[in-house]
Structure 1
Amino acid sequence: MSAPPNPSPNNALDRLWLTEAVRLREEHAGPLDDAEANRQARAQGGELAQLIEHRALWLARRDGLIEALRHWRQGARLAGFALVLIALLTGTGLALAALGDGVRPVNVFWALGSLLGLNLLTLLGWLLGFFFAGDAGGALGRLWLWLSEKLARDARAVQLAPALLAVLEQRRLGRWLLGLGVHGLWLVAMSSALLTLLALLATRRYGFVWETTILGESTFISLTQSLGVLPSLLGFSVPDIEQIRSSGDLANGVESARQSWAGWLVGVVLVYGLLPRLLLALFCYLRWQRGRAQLRLDLQLPAYRLLRERLQPPSERLGISDAAPERLHAPSAGAQLDGSEGAVLVGIELDQSHPWPPKVPKAVADAGVLDDREQRRRLLEQLTRFPPQRLAIACDPRRSPDRGTLALIGELSRCATATRVWLLQPTAGEPLDSYRLQDWKQALDSLGLLHSTSAPLTWLETGHD
């Protein structure tokens, strides 16, 4: 079965994301039918991480995860637009609430608290979460992820948000991505508040006062001048002491102080409200970009360690541990393994004392003798593409049943409907080690394979003994 013709993602993060989504899906629903995916991955070659990624992308195309990712991204964009709209309305509402309709004088510190209070409280919450709880995303970040999944409207996308968080947790990038979203939204809100503030000050006539019952005049003078230090460096006006004092007397006019107070208010909102969010957003963005380039597949996860056996079979990794004979057997081409033959005979590491090939019926394809890794790989790939109905594997029981040979036999057996192992009899005059033969039988029994010391040629030809 071939996968749908959906293109693979070119983005490295998307490929890791989909690979992790496939892993989580298999953890919850059990192993997927991945025979074709494994074959395609092995055909493309590469390191284990690349093979796992190729396999996951093939499964993602087959099962619609790439399409689900596209829907999730659409949902994420819609959720982002919704949050940006909320941020714009929030900023506008803060400015309108701070200045009012212009009929009553504006209490400058009450207005300042309205414009900056919520922003500073959420910023403090972000800092506390960042340093103590390890949660830099905050409620806005989690809300965005939740809205993204809901707006995707695709049941296949259920594992995408957890998979994204799992990938980002590798380098603790979640705090930077969600932090970028949080500071970006507040940057939008404060920009909206500042623009609305400028528009109101440009089109309405406002008076500014300060009022208190328990605090003295000196407190407001020092607080106003302290807050105005940084804005004054950017050219914003700061009320002088006489203007501050006159603004505290409701009976006196404050005409001369209006422009100074307006400039001070705009400068304070810019410096203490907008710029911190801008700097933090840039910082989170730079850390996100740096960490994103270092993302790698975590091969220590149990699921990926298990995949090693299927994507890099031990027969390929271990190779042949025995010394090479003086003359290697060239595998016979025999009949073509093109799917037209229903039976295949193959030998594994046979020496010159065993004449090969035996006389086989025309209906049986002779795959020769496997002596090196390249021959094994070619035959495995060919049998994977065209699995035979019956497969007979000839082995020399004088050799020890090492792990590499047993792994190769197991891999070959998985390529056929039925498999038997032929334990060759020694040539005339050579003794047979009964203990080693027993080791072979026990090893093959553990693999669940039928074995015999007699030639299974009749079975290969007819399907029965």
Structure 2
Amino acid sequence: MTALNPLQKLWLTETVRLREEQAGPLEDQEANRLARSSGGDLPTRIQNRAVWLAERDGLTAALRHWLQGARLALMVLAVLAIVSGAGLAFAALGNGLAPVNVFWALGSLLGLNLILLLSWALGLLFAGEHSASLGRLWLWLSEKLARDAKAAQLAPALLVLLQRQKLNRWAVGVLVNGLWLLALLSAVVILLSLMATRRYGFVWETTILGADTFVSVTQALGALPALLGFSVPSVEMIRASGDSALTIETARQTWAAWLVGVVLIYGILPRLILALICLWRWKSGRSALHLDLNLPGYSQLREPLMPSSERLGINDAAPEQLHQVTGGVSDLHSDGALLVGIELDDQRPWPPKLPSTVNDAGILDSRESRNKLLEQLSRFPPARLAIACDPRRSPDRGSLALIAELARSASATRVWLLQAPAGQALDAERLGDWHTALQQLDVPFADCAPLTWLETGHD
């Protein structure tokens, strides 16, 4: 699994908090213990707890699916932006059979962009992060493309997390301005391609305005592009273009350069600057993100994760579904071998004679003994662990959950299903239930004492 970055850890932590707020506390006995053993301050322990729960409950996989969907959604929007930009260029220049009205062309290329730019700026000032429908479209499309039911919990958590630092507006700003920048770049590329392969004449037309108005507007718009070397039509050329499209090659090139320069300066450049500003604000704000420890969902974790005194006992009900055992997950060095019994009666002598290299952890028959051993294993995980069970008892949910939790604390685990005492017989159906349950947990089991394996690591 790819390591999670700080934002993703905070994101999963917020997702777990919202989930517990809506559906009630999760079964987190093991998660709390592992978070305590990992050390660190309270926010670090809260995040470690949440990451463990998210991995257990499939939220981490849902996050990866959501991110894949988000990237795919972004690609879809980028393709739409490129196609839209090309459409603007074709609409502005036409098929080349009729002269191009320069101000109609300019309106086609920059009119919608200018209106939406002002709309986004006003929304940024007055509506904050709730203003951009394009951002909501991207979130919706990301969720649909993720194709994971659990991914539906991620988007609300991300919004809540980002709103604390008001980062929504900057993230949406990067998206909106970036897509418009892509659309305008596409428009300019198509514009240059059409001008390079077709012959266009440029005119301006009016009924109520005078020629002086167009002269002033054209020269004013061309002032900034002229600083970058773009041509600006002369007064005579502007006045002459009001009567008919000039056939002089220099006039065509001048008008074409003016049009491209105006689109570059008043279309592409503002979007580029705004996208960079939003990106800078996003990155600087993202590094300042942190958990709000005053929220009830986090404040109530202070005692379980950073207890003033150790408290023993299991307070949570057993989970409805056991979680798959994938082997030891501890990052600590594992060493030695350990034998432990679960709820064994007094009819059999215990422990059996053990090799000197194998330690006896006794019999777990109370909450205190279970928690004490689990705390020890979280700090000193064994390389090999044998769990002795009495198959005359039914494989109840609590025992299986304890086996799974013990197995995750060791590098390798085997369950020893004890033989019945002399004069008694095992119930075949109940023994079959044990075999089925342990196979579902993916924990190896045997009907004979695995002492050789405990001592040497092999049979």
TM-score over 0.5 for the pair: yes
In the alignment, structure 1 residue 266 sits paired with structure 2 residue 260:
yes
| TM-fit CA distance, 1:340 | 3.9
Correspondence list, 1:375-414, <5 A: 381-382=375-376
Report the AA paired with residue 221 of structure 2: L
Instruction: Give the alignment partner of residue 189 of structure 2, picking from 195, 213, 232.
Output: 195
Once the two structures are TM-superposed, the CA of residue 182 in structure 1 deviates from its matched residue by 0.7
Matched, 1:107 2:101: yes
Worse overlay, 138-147 or 255-264 = 255-264
C-alpha displacement of 1:167 = 1.4
Counterpart of 2:81? 87
Counterpart of 1:34, as a letter, is: D
Provide the TM-score with structure 1 as the length reference: 0.68
Q: Distance in 1 between matches of 2:363 and 2:202?
A: 100
- Per the alignment, residue 288 of structure 1 pairs with 282
Deviation at 1:255, TM superposition (A): 5.0
Aligned residue number for residue 231 of structure 1 = 225
**Could you say if the C-alpha distance between residues 313 and 383 of structure 1 is closer, same or farther in structure 2, counting changes exceeding 3 Å?**
farther
Contact persistence 2:340–2:363 (CA under 8 A):
no
In the alignment, does 2:61 pair up with 1:67?
Answer: yes
- Structure 1 residue identity aligned to 2:199: R
Give the SS at the match of 1:315.
Answer: coil
Q: Is the 8 A contact 2:341 2:363 kept in 1?
A: no
Secondary structure of the structure 2 residue equivalent to 1:228: helix
Equivalent-residue separation in structure 2 for 1:67 and 1:157 (angstroms): 9
Residue from 10, 13, 18 that aligns with 1:24: 18
- Is 1:163 matched up with 2:162? no
Runs of 5+ unmatched residues, structure 2: 312-337, 345-361, 365-370, 386-401, 403-459
For residues 103 and 380 of structure 1, what CA distance do their matches in structure 2 show? 83
- The 2-side partners of 1:252 and 1:379 are apart by 92
Question: Shift in Å at residue 313 of structure 1?
Answer: 2.3
Q: What residue in structure 1 maps to residue 168 of structure 2?
A: 174
Over the matched positions of the two proteins, sequence identity in percent amounts to 63
Offset from partner CA, 1:227-266 (integer Å, 9 cap, x none) = 0010000100000000000000138756542111100000
| One-letter code aligned to 2:284 | R
RMSD: 3.0
Deviates more, 1:44-53 or 1:307-316: 307-316
Cross-structure match for 1:247 = 241
Residues 137 and 174 of structure 1 are in contact (CA less than 8 Å); yes or no, is this contact kept in structure 2? no
Query: Residues of 1 paired with 2:116 and 2:218: CA distance?
Result: 23
| C-alpha separation in 2, matches of 1:8 and 1:38 | 23
- The match for 1:35 is 29
Which shows bigger deviation, 109-118 or 284-293? 284-293
Shift of 1:137: 5.8
2:126 matched to 1:148?
no
Counterpart in the other structure of 1:306: 300
The 3-state SS of whatever aligns with 2:301 is: helix
Letter in 2 for 1:275: L
How far apart, in 1, do the equivalents of 2:91 and 2:183 lie?
A: 14
Q: Does 1:315 align with 2:305?
A: no
**For residues 242 and 66 of structure 1, what CA distance do their matches in structure 2 show?**
68
Whether contact under 8 Å (1:72, 1:149) holds in the other structure is: yes
Runs of 4+ in 1 over 6 A off after TM superposition: 377-380, 383-386
SS at match of 1:239: coil
Question: Is 1:128 aligned to 2:122, yes or no?
Answer: yes
Give the equivalent residue in structure 2 for 1:222.
216
What is the letter of the counterpart of residue 92 of structure 1? A
C-alpha displacement of 1:62: 0.3
- Cα distance, 1:315 vs. partner? 2.1
State the one-letter code of the partner of 2:289. L
Deviation string, structure 1 residues 339-362 (Cα, Å, up to 9, x no partner): 54869xxxxxxxxxxxxxxxxxxx
Task: Give the CA deviation at 1:311.
Answer: 1.4
Instruction: Give secondary structure in 2 for the equivalent of 1:32.
Output: coil
State the TM-score, normalized to the length of structure 2: 0.68
Specify the structure having the higher radius of gyration (Cα): 1
User: Is the contact made by 1:243 and 1:256 (CA closer than 8 Å) also made in structure 2?
Assistant: no
Task: Report the Cα offset of residue 314 of structure 1.
Answer: 3.5
What amino acid does structure 1 have at the position aligned with 2:211? E
Q: Distance in 2 between matches of 1:21 and 1:110?
A: 50
* Aligned residue pair count: 338
Match of 1:78 in 2: 72
* Residue 291 (structure 2) aligns with: 297
